[in-house]
Amino acid sequence: MLVFHVATTARSGMYNITADVRQALRRVLEEFPGARSGALALFCPHTTCGLTINEGADPHVCRDMVGFFDRLVPQDAAFTHAEGNSDAHIKCTLHGPSLLVLVEDGALQLGTWQAIYLCEGDGPRRRSVWAQWLPGPSGR
75 Cβ partners below 8 Å, 6+ apart? 84, 85, 87
Residues present in the chain in total: 140
- Please choose, out of 4-12, 15-23, 52-60, the segment that lies near its own copies by the rule CB under 8 A: 52-60
Q: Of residues 8-37, which lie at the interface with its own copies (CB under 8 A)?
A: 28, 31-32, 35, 37
What is the nearest approach in angstroms of its own copies to the Cβ of residue 4? 14
In angstroms, the CA 12 to CA 95 distance is: 13
Q: Of residues 97-126, which lie at the interface with its own copies (CB under 8 A)?
A: 97-102, 104, 109-114
84 binds its own copies (CB under 8 A): no
- Please choose, out of 4-12, 19-27, 80-88, the segment that lies near its own copies by the rule CB under 8 A: 80-88
58 Cβ partners below 8 Å, 6+ apart? none
Spatial contact of 33 and 133, defined as CB atoms under 8 Å apart: no
Q: What b-and-e string marks burial along 93-123, b requiring 16 or more CB atoms within 10 Å of the CB?
A: eebeeebebebeeeebebeeebbbbbbbbbb
Sites of contact with its own copies (CB under 8 A): 1, 28, 31-32, 35, 37-39, 41, 43-47, 52-55, 58, 60-61, 63-65, 68-69, 72-73, 77, 79-83, 86, 89-90, 92-102, 104, 109-114, 128, 130, 132-137, 139-140
